[in-house]
Amino acid sequence: MPAIPSEFEEKEFEGPLYNQLEHGTRLVWPPGQVFEQYVGFDRALFLSDPRLWGVFGVSSIPPGVFFHRFRPYFWPERPTRKIPTFRMNLFIQSKRSYFYRRLPKQIRGKLTGSTCWQFKIDESQQEALGRVARKLARRAFVCYAAPAFHKMSELTAHTSRGSILKNSTFPQAARLDGHEAFYYCSPGGSGVANPNPEEIEGPGLEDLLGNVVSGTDSSAQESVTGQLVALANDIEATIAEEVPDTNPRKALFTHRRNELLALLEDFEQAGESARAFMRVRAFVSAFNLDWYAVV
């Protein structure tokens, strides 16, 4: 029996998922918002007409550079917000699910339910994510996210109730090397990877975040710059050394990172933190990830 695609697209799922992750758990915050203030970024202040600045009591346009392609926008003023320390990075890749009214033959006996969902795994993406996930085991958790439901009415209800996290699966990327799809019949992080069916056991995201918070110390002894640079270095080294040059995602990452760093070369105000932040952002962009920090 063929799989039935979810009634909603991936983007329709990931919007409320990330909103509830950020505002519901209180355990994560998006570095894209906080780091931008710390390293001197602002996404909302570029106005080319001095008359508009006058509305805010500013007589002339402040100095700055507009990155036409790579938002946000750069401003050299000294940041006023102190960035919080954090325990772990979280990288998530959302997927659209497919529903099976009966378990496919190849996984019967591996799952306990009579129905299941599945999401497909992109080979080139997983080839890199699995290696990065293992390298960053002490700094980051890399996982997929897919709904354990498939109807639009269910998405609407879970969005209203704030229950998307409890009704989604979050299998770890490090466990899915060599697999083409992940099958699951319940929320959490457990299921069966295929081909050559392999049972995967894993906690749900909320349990995982709780374990991280209770089991690790905040990196208060490490500076924000140190955290960012170490993260960027580990990502780049893993992709350079362990991902084949034939992988198209590797080429895309390298291209975007080089473009971003080239844009920053002419600006002394773009210090080490800004450069490291943009290197990580290049990784997030090339692999279609969302990035959070666990506090």
Tens-place pLDDT, residues 148-188 = 999 999 999 999 999 999 999 999 999 999 999 999 999 99
- If pLDDT is split at 50, 70 and 90, which confidence band does 74 have? very low
Please report, for the chain, the start and end positions of each structural domain, with discontinuous segments joined by +. 4-25+88-215
Read off the pLDDT of residues 235-269 as tens digits, 9 standing for 90 and up.
999 999 999 999 999 999 999 898 888 877 766 66
Distances (CA, A) of 279 to 3, 125, 127, 170: 38, 18, 20, 25
pLDDT score of 170: 95
Mean pLDDT computed over 7-13: 94
Q: Phi/psi zone of residue 255: left (φ > 0), alpha (ψ -120 to 50 degrees), beta?
A: alpha
**Both tokens assigned to 18:** 């990330």
Taking the chain, what is the end-to-end CA distance rounded to the nearest angstrom?
A: 44
- Output 32 or 148, whichever has higher pLDDT: 148
Mean pLDDT computed over 27-33: 71
Give the largest CA-CA distance in the chain: 72
